Structure 1
Amino acid sequence: MPGPMASTPSAGTAAPPGTSYGKALSLLASLFFMWGFITVINGVLLPHLRSVFELDYTQTTLIESVWFIAYFFASIPSAKLIERVGYKRSIVTGLLIMAAGALGMTLAASLPSYGVTLAMLFVIASGITLLQVAANPYVTVIGPPETGSSRLNLVQAFNSLGTTLAPLFAGYLILGRSRSGTADAGVQLSQAERFADAQSVILPYVLVAIVLVVLAVIIARFPLPALGASTQRAAKAERRQQSLWKHRNLVLGIPTMIAYLLAEIGVANLFINFVSQPQMTAITHDQASRYLALLWGGMMVGRFAGSFIMRTIPAERVLAVFAFGALVVVATATFTTGPLAMYALILVGLFHSIMFPTIFTLAIKGLGPLTEEGSGLMIMAIAGGALVVVQGWLADRYGLQNSFFLTMACEVVVLAYALWGSRVTHELAAPEVAAAE
């Protein structure tokens, strides 16, 4: 894990930890909020697009796969951009890329076009990838190493605030204003109704684009503390003697992050279709979106609680407890029906809450000057969310409920990492925080 924050400002320019860094973290929390908000709009968008374009589950989850494929292709260019222009300019660039993609979604809705929708979601996800590569290690580094997981869980809680509000926002402006969102299950829409439904996407994405541009302007004018030279990529000669692949916690952290993302995205994006089934609750998609907000609300509560708990209990122990809890509730949703299955799936949000930030910080612990490169690999692992198309394929062939056996397997992987795989090997010297940008 990244090392301690300097007790005094370097170069006489950085503010004391209690002031400058606190303000920086507060501002960065807004980034976590926005990318969580935009990502979870997809959870409402997918059942909507499934009706508009008459898609099966495989084609529907392919939309989400394209979103996460962007993490694979954009992670390395993002790391190189950060190295070249710094964290603050990279964050501003990421926000503007997201705004451009959001405006592009209005074009996709106007046509309407499945292909353009995929392309614009890829653009938005590329901007989010840049923010992820910059913000996650940044938050982890600017503070004591023993509270890195706690600090990242805290700002990730604001990410969860965005994910909690997004289903309500999108449910009202997209599903609530569309025929597919308010119709009973199984109702066939006419071509005119599907075209009208597509237009309901325009207003939400225009509003999102405006907020992103305003946030980019604010951050461009804010003096973020800079990371010291020891957090930058090690010199080529030094890197020949330091291999990322000697660090078991990182090597095993990558597939664990992939498994976790597959579990989280599968649950969130199939939730509305799952609970709307006749054997579950037989409610409309619009009504189901409100229950989806509860799932993400549980994630927010869990992250705030996890941030507090990890101040006194080791992160790997907390991760093990939450992974076991997730396994139990997913199994309940898989083997039962009715409201019990729905509420069990809602509880998955609570147990998934601390997984991303905790796996991330455990994986980059002890990397020292290789922290930036290790962080880039962990962000690239988010592309594992693209494998949700596998769950869509399973749902088409074996039934939606049976597809959650894949989710159960993912929870087992996270549990094994918490109990054994997260142990640090070949720990390196820790980086420091330097002057303000």
Structure 2
Amino acid sequence: MSGTTADRKYVPAIVLTVALFFLWGMANNLNDILIAQFKKAFTLTDFQTSFVQQAFYMGYFLLAMPAALVTRAKGYKTAIVTGLVLYAAGALLFYPAAHYGEYLYFLAALFVIACGLAFLETSANPLMTELGDPTTAAKRLNWAQAANPVGTVAGVLIGKYFILSAIVHDEATVAAMSPAAREAFYRSEVVAVQTPYLVIGLVVLLFAVAAAVIRFPEHRAEETVGAPSRFVDVFRHPRLIFATVTQFFYVGAQVGIWSYTIRYAQANVPGMAEHDAADYLFASLVLFGIGRFAGTALMGKIAPPRLLAIFALVSAVLAAVAGLVGGQIGLYALVLASLFMSIQFPTIFALGMDGLGPLRRAGASLIIMAIIGGAVLTGLMGHISDLAGIDTAMLVPAVCFLVVLAFAVKAGRTLSGEELQPTIH
């Protein structure tokens, strides 16, 4: 069978898999909107709002390895259908959660969504390389990856126009309301998330049905990922361990910055509504996407470790400006940091994988589990914000980027020269 015929054979599967990149990008960045919405609806502290990301990334952390094992044992179709059903179930759970108005119920729903996304992310990247001619695999994967930032932007826009309200009520105004009016106000803010997530859940469920009937490559038995001997072996690679630690700090910085961008904007621009503050998050994601393309192009001229070091240093400086200067300047610095965050996750991943050979799968699983940093460090930032203010909390990402800088410098000295294989996040 020719390469062209093979690609045509799997066109429906390719289209659906590209859509998966969009869907998990959307889910990830809707969380940043939910943090702002729940803070107002449930009168939460910044630390309490971080439970959104803690519940979400705990789902990723706990299901990453089981998802990989299911993919290898049962094939891509089973993993994708399972992931989509869990994603849809979690989104649909927002409806009863809003009805009962309990924050804990929303956290449980987000955990279920993240469990589904763990299955989708584990299977989608390798699947794209098998959907057709191997000589066009890189092209297909690049197209799929391009859908991810589109999804992140879509998530913010959905949140801005369908969840966040343009109404600004300071604490004094809310306190002056009658008990009935105050209850109605909080209730309206909780219910605002109900319809968008109901629609998302139904759409994702349709994708699950489509995945169940679409033809995927036949399942082939492969060696078990994550076998104990493999994990013992990967711990003999110091750079992989350093990369895993670094990824923990990087993901914590990225998730923390985006989680609190709306909060930071409101704190530094008095009177700004969440609806308007979301524009700064939108700008951050656009710059992040631009940085991805620009950074990839620059890697043709600048060695990846050196470029990573430059971007990490600039990110650290910008986060420090946000933490120490504040105001409109600090807000602009925080938004601009996303431009330089863009290449860090895939570059850390690729440098950590360099030289692993047959241990690449086990090594990849280890690095991916480091995204739990998004839960831990976002919680730390929320706690610091409650104690010393949101500006001071932005010093946490500044320190995280210095860890990335140290890794980049170290990796540049020991790079084996094996071709780097980036991934998407």
Q: Name the TM-score class by shorter chain.
A: 0.7 to 0.9
Per-residue CA shift, 1:107-139, capped at 9, x if unaligned? Answer: 111111111111111000111112222234555
Look up the match of 2:330: 341
Letter in 1 for 2:183: Q
Q: 1:208 to 1:236 in 2, by over 3 A?
A: closer
Give runs of aligned pairs for residues 267-286 of structure 1, distance below 5 A: 267-277=257-267, 279-280=268-269, 282-286=271-275
Q: Is the 8 A contact 1:154 1:303 kept in 2?
A: no
Query: 1:223/1:197 Cα in 2 relative to 1: closer, same or farther (>3 Å)?
Result: same
Hey, what does 1:233 align to over in structure 2?
224
Matches within 5 A, 1:60-139: 60-138=49-127
> Which residue identity lines up with residue 370 of structure 2 in the other structure?
A
SS in 1 for 2:97: helix
Equivalent of 1:306 in 292, 295, 300: 295
Retained in 2: the 8 A contact 1:281–1:339?
A: no
Give 1:207's aligned residue.
199
Q: Which has the higher helix share?
A: 2
Q: What is the letter of the counterpart of residue 96 of structure 1?
A: V
Q: Distance in 1 between matches of 2:339 and 2:56?
A: 24
Report 1:14-413 matches (<5 A): 27-138=16-127, 155-176=144-165, 181-186=166-171, 187-188=173-174, 190-225=182-217, 232-233=223-224, 239=229, 243-277=233-267, 279-280=268-269, 282-311=271-300, 313-387=302-376, 388-413=378-403
Q: 1:254 to 1:311 in 2, by over 3 A?
A: same
CA contact (8 A) 1:280 1:341 kept: no
Is contact 2:65–2:226 with CA below 8 Å preserved after alignment?
Answer: no
18-27 or 315-324, larger mean C-alpha shift: 18-27
Q: How far apart are the structure 2 equivalents of 1:67 and 1:242?
A: 28
Could you report, residue by residue, the CA deviation over 1:63-105 in whole angstroms, capped at 9, with x for unpaired residues? 2111111122111211221121112321221111100000001
Q: Deviations over 1:27-66 (max 9, x none)?
A: 4332121111111111111111111111111111122111
Superposed CA deviations along residues 257-284 of structure 1, whole A, max 9, x for unmatched, are 110111011111111111111x435411
Q: 1:382 to 1:249 in 2, by over 3 A?
A: same
Bigger drift between 85-94 and 42-51 goes to 85-94
Question: Which range moved further: 97-106 or 247-256?
Answer: 247-256
Q: The residue matched to 1:233 in structure 2 has which SS?
A: coil
Query: Which amino acid counterpart does residue 20 of structure 2 have in structure 1?
Result: L
User: Deviation digits for residues 168-192 of structure 1, max 9, x if unmatched?
Assistant: 211111113xxxx521444427112
- Cα separation, partners in 2 of 1:329 and 1:23, compared to 1, 3 Å: farther
Structure 1 pair 332–63 and aligned structure 2 pair: CA distance change class (3 A): same
- Distance, in Å, in 1 between the alignment partners of 2:339 and 2:406 is 19
Which residue identity lines up with residue 108 of structure 1 in the other structure? Answer: A
Instruction: Tell me whether 87-96 or 107-116 shows the greater mean CA deviation.
Output: 87-96
- Cα separation, partners in 2 of 1:43 and 1:378, compared to 1, 3 Å: same
Q: Check conservation: 1:20, 1:225, Cα contact below 8 A.
A: no
Moved more, 118-127 or 247-256: 247-256
Instruction: Check whether the contact 1:15–1:21 (CA below 8 A) recurs between aligned residues.
Output: no
For 2:128 and 2:363, locate their aligned partners in 1 and report how far apart those are by CA, in whole Å: 15
Larger CA deviation: 135-144 vs 329-338:
135-144
CA–CA distance in structure 1, aligned partners of residues 43 and 183 of structure 2: 10
Q: 1:251 to 1:261 in 2, by over 3 A?
A: same
Relative contact order (alpha carbons < 8 A, sep ≥ 6): 1 or 2 greater?
1
Distance 1:323 1:224, change over 3 A: farther
Q: 2: CA distance between counterparts of 1:311 and 1:17?
A: 31
Tell me which moved more, 25-34 or 330-339. 25-34
Report the TM-score, using the length of structure 2 for normalisation.
0.85
Distance 1:375 1:226, change over 3 A: farther
* Separation of aligned partners in 2, 1:54 and 1:219: 40
- What do the CA deviations read for 1:360-379 (whole angstroms, capped 9, x no partner)? 23323333333222222222
Match in the other structure for 1:4 = none
1:329 and 1:234 map into 2 onto residues whose CA distance is 39
Quick one: distance in 2 between partners of 1:191 and 1:221? 46
Give the letter for the 2:265 counterpart.
Answer: V
Taking only aligned residues, the RMSD between alpha carbons, in angstroms, comes to: 3.3
Q: Work out the CA distance in 1 between the residues paired with 2:226 and 2:161.
A: 52
Is 1:419–2:405 an aligned residue pair?
no
Equivalent residue number for residue 6 of structure 1: none
When residues 137 and 330 of structure 1 are mapped into structure 2, their CA distance, relative to the original with a 3 A threshold, is farther
Task: Report the CA distance shift for 1:317/1:88 in structure 2 as closer, same or farther (over 3 A).
Answer: farther
Kindly tell me: are residues 373 and 52 of structure 1, through their superposed partners in 2, closer, same or farther at Cα, counting changes over 3 Å? same
Q: Distance in 1 between matches of 2:311 and 2:143?
A: 17
Q: Distance in 2 between matches of 1:374 and 1:228?
A: 21
Unaligned runs of 5+ in 2: 176-181
Distance 1:287 1:210 in 2: 29
